[in-house]
Amino acid sequence: MKTGLSFTSNINFVSNEEFQRKTAYINKNSENENKYIGVYDKNNKYCGDMYFYNKAKTDTEGLTDDIQSCVAGGLSNKNSKELTFFHFVPAAINSFDTSVKPKIFDGLTKMKTYTDELGGLIIGGKSGKSCNANCVASTELAKKFKTFFDELKASYSEISGQNMPGGKTAAYYNGNEDTWYINCENKEEPYKNQINSAEDIKKAYNKIKIAKKDNVFINYQKTDKLELEEAFKRIPGGFQINPIKVIKDYYEIKKKGFDFEDRIKIYNGGFGDDKKTLWVESSKPREMEVVIKNLEKIKQSDMFKEIEKIQYAGNEQIQGFEPTDIKAENKIVYEKRL
């Protein structure tokens, strides 16, 4: 793998052991450590205090871990080898413009030439069956970061969702190598489910999007980006319902009477963990009508056979839906019990 300054960043998925070796010298015990954002006490044990998150730091290296339903990542400067990295909890969606963006801008200002070409990575995760509202907020927070990165004209990659039980992600950026080191592990069994292939990445995450200028490695072996993309395009078991078909981690429903290419996306709630909730990526009454008319076909899928309610986020209430206390991107989440 190439090291040194370039306009191409590397993303290297490595084992737990290799990740620990690469980051062993970073002092996790010091709150003042500029290379680390995380929640560990003096004995290097997880203490779970959210106070240690919701931060952005700037250095030539950056490490953050225990990424579950949070959103983390960074923006690297291709000329100065510096990085502004961050880790925010889902609730940060409520203060994105007033708190999150200023913290990152402050970090970018510390970079020597932050207006030069920026590379970036956004990592979004999930925390399990209990996450529910957190997962909705996490999804919306990741969208906010993507819009923000687009405004900065940054070239960035995305790693989103986690499929393995108790899964969590750790990320470390090395400016001298212009490389992100990624470790995804099962929280209960740290040495299980290691990533050794493109198929393993697909098993570990719901979505991977690699920037054109980025390279992907698995344990230092370069991986064909097309192979990785193809792994995420494959339909599980060839399963298909007409007019509904499985696409990656969501379904798309062709809207009858609408343009053929126009589709409605539906998901399980909570990043796929809440099997009793059908999340609809639309707040339009006519599109919701299509979903409701297709409910029996939708429930033929194992993904949706247990659904008891439908949810969406919007500014207007659709007939038959009731408002909840949950908000997503400052929009009320509405719910219909089946």
* 181 band by pLDDT with thresholds 50, 70 and 90: very high
The CA-atom distances, in angstroms, between 177 and each of 4, 10, 58, 214 are 5, 8, 16, 13
Instruction: Locate the domains of the chain by residue range.
Output: 10-233, 236-337
pTM of the shown model: 0.65
Per-residue pLDDT tens digits for 273-288? 678 889 888 888 888 8
pLDDT at residue number 204? 81
Phi (first) and psi of residue 275, to 5 degrees: -70, -10
- Do 12 and 201 meet the contact criterion of CB atoms below 8 Å apart? no
Taking the CA atoms of residue 253, residue 255, residue 256 and residue 258 in that order, the dihedral angle to the nearest 10 degrees is: -160
pLDDT, position 281: 83
Cβ atoms of residues 203 and 193 within 8 Å: yes
Residues 297-321 have pLDDT tens digits of 888 887 888 999 999 988 899 999 9
Residue 117 pLDDT grade (very low, low, confident, very high; cuts 50, 70, 90): confident
Query: Which pLDDT value is given to residue 39?
Result: 65
* Number of other CB atoms surrounding residue 254 within 10 Å: 17
Share of the chain above pLDDT 70, in %: 72
Q: Of the CATH numbers 3.30.1330.200, 3.40.830.10, 3.90.1150.180, 3.30.413.10, which one belongs to the domain with range 10-233?
A: 3.30.1330.200
> How far apart are the C-alpha atoms of 317 and 283, rounded to whole Å?
8
Given pLDDT bands bounded at 50, 70 and 90, which one contains residue 263?
Answer: low
What pLDDT score does 123 carry? 93
- Name the pLDDT band for 338 (thresholds 50, 70, 90): very high
Q: Of 23-27, 309-313, 322-326, where does the model show the most confidence? A: 309-313
pLDDT tens figures, 54-94: 788 888 899 998 888 889 999 988 777 788 999 988 888 88
Report whether pLDDT(127) > 60: no
pLDDT(243) > 60: no
* pLDDT recorded at residue 190: 54
Q: Which long-range contacts (CB under 8 A, 24 or more apart) does 283-286 make?
A: 283/312, 283/313, 283/314, 283/315, 283/316, 283/318, 283/331, 285/318, 285/319
